[in-house]
Amino acid sequence: MSMLLAVHDAYNTVVAQIGNPTPETPPVADKLMKLVRYFDWFVMLSGVTAITYGGGRFAWEKWSGGGLESPKMVAGAMIGGATATSAGTIMNSVIGS
């Protein structure tokens, strides 16, 4: 029984010495966030480009009377944009700004 009390006292001593550490940002966090912002900008630019291209192709297919494959492109770009937007929101809520 005294051995258990000695272990408990040693544990309390070690825990009291550790204290409550304060969180701090990693050294390269600002550069990583800059890279994430660049990637976010690229995703938005590629989404706008894909929707614009799909819309132009849709108009061309409609005008020339060809098969309509471009609505799938526009829908895919819209779904990709919604997914990318949701990923950013989820990441911001998990990481916190």
| pTM of this structure | 0.54
Whether the pLDDT of residue 17 is over 70: the answer is no
CA 30-89-73 angle, 5° bins? 110
Name the token pair of 32.
Answer: 């990583």
pLDDT score of 40:
80
Average pLDDT over residues 62-75: 79
Tell me which residue has tokens 């819209």: 78
Query: Given this model, what pLDDT does residue 15 score?
Result: 61
Q: What is the pLDDT of residue 61?
A: 81
CA distance 78 to 72: 10
Residues 19-57: pLDDT tens digits? 666 777 888 888 888 988 898 888 888 888 888 888 888
Confidence grade of residue 97 (pLDDT, cut at 50, 70, 90):
low
